[in-house]
Structure formats: C-alpha cells, structure tokens
Structure 1
C-alpha cells in the first residue's frame, strides 16, 4: 500500500471543495437523478477532479462515488476511495452552508482516513485510524452524556416517541450531522433507512476517532466496500447512550429493514 498521509488526502479534498465554493451561490445546472434527488453540474465537476487526483495518490485503490457509475471493480480491491463530491446538495443549490466534500479511504472494509471539507462553514474535519480526529487542526471529542432523555439531535423535528430529545441545528449534509456528534455539539444521530456508504464513510471514522459509538440502525458494526454499497441506517452516539438508543429504535428499525 502506498504511504498515503491524511494531509495529502485533505489537500485533495480542499482543492475539490475550493472548486465547488467558486460556483456556490452562482449559476448552476440542476436536475433530478430521480424524484427527490437533485444533482448539479458542480457535483460532477468535483467528482471528476477527485477521481483523477485520488488515483494519483493510490493508483491501486478502487473508487466508489455517488456520481460515478459503480462497475464493481472495486470489490476485488482491499483499498477503496469512498467519495461524496458534495454531501448536502440541497443546501448547496439553495445557497446554504450545510454541505461538504466527503472523502474516505477504506482498507479491509474499514475507513482509515476520513476528510470532510466544508468551506462555506470554514471547517476541515480530519481523522486517521488510531490517531484521533480534528476540526481545523484542533482535537475534538464527543460529549459525556449518559442519559438518552435530553440528548441533542440534529433535526428540525422528531417523532412523538422521541419528544424527550432536543433538536439542534440540522445541516443538509448527513456527514456534517455526524461530525456534530464527534465535536460534542450533538449527542445522537440516527437514520432508519437504507443509505449509501459514501454518505457516511469519512464521517464514521471522524466520529469513532472522537470517541463516538458508530453502528448501523440495529447496532451492528458498519462495513464498507460491500457489494450493494449500502447499510440499513446509521446510529452515532456518545458511548453512554448507545445501548439505550438501539433499544428505543429496535422495533422501528426491524419493521423497516425488510426490502
């Protein structure tokens, strides 16, 4: 495996994010890949740039991205770049700040480097396996919350069954919402739907390196570079409330997981 530094990956992500920021709040070509899933020409521009530059860093790694057709070649490789060129496209096209460029390097099914570049927010989130996580170069850590009641969740509203949780700011990017847990600005992030690996690859490492417990919606470990490139939900919490969160969500998750 090439000796790839987290800084080198961050530099590529930063340049990609700079290209996106140049077009943010400007003229965009926007269409829907499928109903409710917008994409812009900038998503594709950033994807092309990342694919080329990450190949330079590690020519032997596979590539999995929201905006590149998956040809399955990555399945025969132990190392894979998992990329969302613009996570939070809705916020990007609405000229809001809740978007980022997400880049993860997966090795043996687990992220070993994760970067989120959020230039509209002035944020760079970075983690490497076993080396902790930072925001703008400063170490971050999860909160010490041990009670589920009163836990902060990045959401505009919550179901009645979760009325004891406290809603805080919700950027459109799920990666940034996970990062909020990593930085102690939220205590729990949960989704109960099938989601793609590129949405959470980098953020999952950032959160776990910051001390969070990161699983799928049923409490099982996340595995990356799978055939479907999907997992059922993601649950990111402070360690002290994870078991309670899994128990609360179990019935809802089990009812929804069957396709």
Structure 2
C-alpha cells in the first residue's frame, strides 16, 4: 500500500507544481495570517483546493491535515491521514525565489509511510515510501557519511546557534548554512548535500512529515530536539523541534544541546 499511496502523492505534487507556477510570486495576491502565523498567497489556496479535492476523493477513509485548511478533530479517528503543506516557503515564493516546495505525506497510526517533497522551479522531486528507500528524480539518495561536527555543514536558522541552547553555552564548531523551506532543508539532508539540520522551535507537522520519512529511508535519523521519535496526527499538530542527520551527527548534536533550553527566544 505505501507504493500505491506514494504514486498518488507524486501525481498530486506534479499537478500542484503546475498550479503554483501559473502565479508570479511577487504579484500573487498575499495576506498575512492572524497572530503572526506568516503569509499566505492565492497560490497556496489554489494548490490546497486542488489537493483537498483530489486526495480525499482517492482515499475517502483517510483523514486530512493541511496548513491551509481549518483543522478538524475528525482526523484523529482515522488510521491514516494526509499531512499537507501546499507551499512550504510561502515567504520565499512571494519574494519571487525558486526555493519553495510542495510537501505531501501520509501517516499511518502516527508514522509517515509515504512522502513527496517537490520543488517545481528547481526540478527536484524527492520521494520515499516506508521500507523502499528514498529517491531524488528517481535516483536513490543517502545521507552524508560525515561523522564529526567540526567538519559538518548543518542547516539551521541563526536563532538555533545562540549559546543558551547549548550545554555550558558552548555552540559546537560546525558550519551553519541556511535554505528557505523547512521541507527542502530536510530533503537536502536526505540527499546528503548537507550533513544535518536542526530547528529548535516547535514545528508544525505539515512542515516536517514528508522530510521525516525521506531522511529515515535515506539511512539517517530524525527526531525531536530531545531525541524522541517524531509521531504525527497529534491533537495539537506541533512537535518539539527537529534534529535530522546521519546517526553520528544526530547523536552528537543532541548530546551537546542543553535539555533545559525550551524553544527559540530572542
């Protein structure tokens, strides 16, 4: 079944790319969500409308969780659920950048079993199904083999490297790099382009569900900031940050984080 679900997600992601690229990011109508939740554009809503019609019609017994759909507790009664970010990196999209992604996943009893991350303007299609490996444009991918932090490139936003997040205030000596779109950052780790990624702020399930499976199927480890496995379709769909890398880098990052530090603060 994960293989059949994966093909469903691939077809939907490709159609999402056709819809989103009809819009020019800088001229697409844009609104700011309440409570500082970030921007949304008419492209996000158009992609979401297509996915919300197409995917549940194909799998009517699955639940639905999307950034751009009002949440319902009905999904909590379902064994399987779609977890969707119509456009991850909306701010980047609205600025006219090529670095934004469609992120589509299916979770079964809390575990992601099929996942797609698609960047149409970069022609990058990342796919994974449980037990079947991870792929970029049809070619198998694997996480980096780097094992020491002092030679590692880690994808992270600047607030994550403030001293109060790390034991004794000592930030590890890794090279910090950054890319827009949390889903894309996770895909790049799965691809082995970078050696790890972390985000210490609470993370929405739709941003990270697809990347979680992609990294695990690429031979890496993906967890929350306390090294607990990621579980999805929670009543409040937000998880306690993400650490993702090959096992040696993942475990070293976790060991050096201060467990008493909670979330991101200024």
Q: TM-score range by the shorter chain?
A: over 0.9
Give the total of aligned pairs.
255
Q: Deviations over 1:32-89 (max 9, x none)?
A: 1032611111111111111111112211101000010101110000100000000001
Q: Deviations over 1:182-231 (max 9, x none)?
A: 11111111111111100001111111100110000110000000111111
CA distance 1:111–1:256, shift in 2 (3 Å): same
1:167-178 superposed matches below 5 A: 167-168=176-177, 170-178=178-186
Q: Which runs of 4+ in 1 moved over 2 A?
A: 1-5, 24-27, 154-163
Q: Which residue of 2 aligns with 1:32?
A: 32
| Pairing 1:9–2:9 present | yes
CA RMSD of aligned residues (A): 1.9
| Pairing 1:202–2:210 present | yes
CA distance 1:31–1:240, shift in 2 (3 Å): same
CA distance 1:256–1:4, shift in 2 (3 Å): same
For residues 46 and 146 of structure 1, the distance between their equivalents in structure 2, rounded to whole angstroms, comes to: 39
CA distance 1:183–1:76, shift in 2 (3 Å): same
1:62-73 superposed matches below 5 A: 62-73=63-74
For residues 3 and 143 of structure 1, the distance between their equivalents in structure 2, rounded to whole angstroms, comes to: 25
CA distance 1:17–1:7, shift in 2 (3 Å): same
For residues 111 and 2 of structure 1, the distance between their equivalents in structure 2, rounded to whole angstroms, comes to: 10
For residues 66 and 148 of structure 2, the distance between their equivalents in structure 1, rounded to whole angstroms, comes to: 37
Q: Contact between 2:2 and 2:114, CA under 8 Å: does it hold in 1? A: no
Match of 1:216 among 220, 224, 239: 224
Q: Contact between 1:102 and 1:116, CA under 8 Å: does it hold in 2? A: yes
Could you state the TM-score of these two structures normalised by the residue count of structure 2?
A: 0.90
What 5-or-longer segments of structure 2 have no aligned partner?
164-169
Could you state the TM-score of these two structures normalised by the residue count of structure 1?
A: 0.93
